[in-house]
């Protein structure tokens, strides 16, 4: 009974993440891979890798923007990397934030980039929190089984 | 080969990759992003490919050099952050021997064109979709057909292997001067050797299109 309630809670949580734009179709593809294959923890593994990598990348971007002379090419490369990474796990809001960054580093606008990074980090932290709730529910379901 | 994969009356679906002559198709997957590499590896394995995953083009190049006969297809990310070569540099080495699929985030058309002109057989955009990954075997088949049509051994009597220190080692067959011997086979290899990369690539693209045109949907 507890497991059923938790599963319902998990499904509702994931549905709300899709509805609020945190997730897109790519996440569904990962879920299908997990459901069809023999790797039960696949989605949490991939998303966990994304979260660690995104944390590192946003830190590197912040470091670059802190320099007296900003290397915008490196900022571009890091944002590109994060965009690809977020797209690969279906973290839509993070991906969209990366797209918004583009015009600022193209214009070599440091202040714009700092603002864009703050927005990006907000979206990333929100997404991370949602993913962590998802994983906690999955672990509770696993514990009940 | 493709027909065998869809033979009627088969008790279980045989994926094209498993019907590949010589056994399961072997893919070298190269990607710096650990999440993307894990997802790509899982997708490939789910579709029956045997995967060697490497976290950088530098490591990918070492894997190729250590095991020249060990792969049928290379998939590599284009842009890298780490030290060493990037995907384009890796492509130059790998495309001489293997079909290479490049992938990246959204890139301008010029970047994709560069990849294709420098020898890639496809340029995919992240996120990599399961259906795209499922069908990568077609590039291996197309390449083998092209090689067979041109009379060259797919495993390289006229293939040049470039070592990491940029010296060039010749595989069996040709000499530098392009001078033919009285042997007709040598003369044929020398004619092939005179094809430009653009001509070879155009023939390859045509073969892929023909293959796509004959497969069922």
Q: Report pLDDT digits (tens) over A64-90.
A: 999 999 999 999 999 999 999 999 999
SS (H, E, C) A5-22: HHHHHHHHHHHHHHHCCC
Helices (H), chain B: 2-5, 34-46, 57-66, 87-94, 109-117, 130-134, 137-150, 184-193, 197-214
Predicted confidence at residue B161, as pLDDT, reads 41
Residue B210 belongs to some domain of the structure: yes
Q: How far is the C-alpha of A75 from the C-alpha of B51, rounded, in Å? A: 32
**Nearest residue in chain A measured CA to CA from B48:** A37
Q: Of B97, B114, B135, which closes a domain?
A: B135
The CATH number linked to B63 is 3.40.50.2300
Q: How confident is the model at residue B179 (pLDDT cuts 50, 70, 90)?
A: very low
Range of the domain at B85: 26-135
Residue B10 belongs to some domain of the structure: no
Average pLDDT of the residues in B42-64: 95
Largest CA distance in chain A: 60
Residue B53, token pair as written in the block: 């995953």
CB pairs under 8 A between A and B: 66
Residue A135, token pair as written in the block: 């994983």
**Nearest residue in chain B measured CA to CA from A34:** B42
Q: How far is the C-alpha of B211 from the C-alpha of B217, rounded, in Å? A: 12
Predicted confidence at residue A102, as pLDDT, reads 86
Q: How far is CA B62 from CA B38, B96, B140, in A?
A: 20, 15, 21
Query: Does B23 touch chain A if contact means CB atoms closer than 8 Å?
Result: no
Of A29, A39, A90, the CB nearest to B130: A29
Average pLDDT of the residues in B59-83: 94
Predicted confidence at residue B52, as pLDDT, reads 97
Angle between helix axes A110-144 and A72-89 (nearest 10 degrees) is: 30
Q: Name the average pLDDT for chain B.
A: 76
- Cα torsion B40, B45, B48, B54: sign: positive
Of B35, B46, B130, the CB nearest to A88: B35
Same domain, B91 and B71: yes
Query: Does A90 touch chain B if contact means CB atoms closer than 8 Å?
Result: yes
Query: Containing H/E element for B73?
Result: strand B73-77
- In percent, how much of chain A has pLDDT > 90? 84
Q: How confident is the model at residue B2 (pLDDT cuts 50, 70, 90)?
A: very low
Q: How many domains does chain B have?
A: 2
How many angstroms away from the CA of A49 is the closest CA of chain B? 5
Q: What is the dihedral of CA B38, B44, B46, B52, to 10 degrees?
A: -70
Q: How far is the C-alpha of B38 from the C-alpha of A44, rounded, in Å? A: 11
User: A38-50, pLDDT tens digit by residue?
Assistant: 778 899 999 999 9
CATH class of the structural domain A2-29+40-144: mainly alpha
Between chains, do A29 and B36 touch, taking CB under 8 Å as contact? no
Confidence check: pLDDT of B216 > 90: no
Predicted confidence at residue B160, as pLDDT, reads 42
Q: Of B87, B114, B135, which closes a domain?
A: B135
Interface ipTM:
0.90
Strand B26-30 with B73-77, pairing: parallel
Query: Does A117 touch chain B if contact means CB atoms closer than 8 Å?
Result: no
Contact A76, A105 (CB under 8 A): yes
Confidence check: pLDDT of B173 > 50: no
Average pLDDT of the residues in A53-64: 96
User: B7-39, pLDDT tens digit by residue?
Assistant: 444 444 556 666 666 568 999 999 999 999 999
Q: Name the average pLDDT for chain A.
A: 93
Q: Of B135, B166, B195, which closes a domain?
A: B135
Confidence check: pLDDT of A51 > 70: yes
- Cα torsion B164, B165, B168, B172: sign: negative
**Nearest residue in chain A measured CA to CA from B105:** A84
User: B127-156, pLDDT tens digit by residue?
Assistant: 999 999 999 999 998 888 888 887 655 454
Task: Write out chain B residues lying below 8 Å of A37, CB-based.
Answer: 42, 46
Of B32, B35, B105, the CB nearest to A46: B35
Average pLDDT of the residues in B72-101: 94
């Amino acid at each position: 009974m507890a497991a059923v309630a938790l599963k319902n809670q998990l499904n509702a949580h994931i549905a709300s993440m899709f509805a609020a734009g945190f997730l897109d179709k790519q996440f569904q593809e990962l879920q299908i891979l997990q459901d069809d294959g023999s790797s039960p923890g696949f989605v949490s593994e991939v998303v966990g890798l994304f979260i660690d990598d995104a944390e590192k990348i946003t830190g590197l971007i912040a470091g670059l923007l802190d320099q007296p002379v900003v290397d915008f090419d490196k900022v571009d490369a890091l944002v590109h990397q994060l965009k690809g990474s977020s797209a690969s796990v279906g973290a839509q809001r993070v991906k969209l934030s990366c797209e918004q960054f583009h015009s600022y580093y193209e214009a070599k606008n440091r202040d714009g980039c700092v603002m864009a990074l703050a927005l990006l980090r907000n979206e990333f932290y929100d997404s991370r929190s949602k993913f962590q709730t998802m994983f906690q529910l999955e672990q509770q379901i696993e514990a009940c089984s | 080969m493709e027909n065998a994969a869809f033979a009627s009356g088969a008790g279980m679906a045989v994926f094209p990759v498993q019907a590949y002559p010589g056994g399961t198709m072997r893919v070298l997957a190269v990607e710096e992003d650990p999440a993307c590499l894990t997802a790509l590896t899982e997708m490939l394995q789910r579709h029956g490919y045997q995967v060697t995953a490497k976290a950088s083009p530098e490591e990918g190049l070492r894997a190729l050099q250590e095991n020249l006969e060990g792969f049928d297809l290379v998939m590599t990310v284009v842009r890298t952050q780490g030290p060493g070569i990037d995907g384009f540099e890796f492509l130059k080495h790998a495309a001489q021997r293997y079909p290479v699929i490049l992938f990246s985030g959204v890139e301008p058309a010029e970047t994709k064109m560069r990849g294709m002109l420098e020898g890639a057989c496809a340029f995919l955009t992240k996120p990599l979709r399961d259906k795209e990954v499922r069908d990568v075997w077609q590039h291996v088949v197309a390449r083998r057909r092209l090689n067979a049509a041109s009379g060259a051994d797919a495993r390289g009597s006229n293939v040049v292997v470039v070592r990491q220190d940029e010296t060039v080692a010749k595989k069996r067959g040709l000499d530098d001067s392009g001078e033919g011997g009285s042997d007709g086979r040598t003369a044929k290899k020398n004619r092939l050797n005179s094809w430009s990369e653009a001509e070879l690539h155009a023939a390859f693209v045509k073969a892929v299109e023909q293959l796509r045109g004959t497969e069922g949907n």
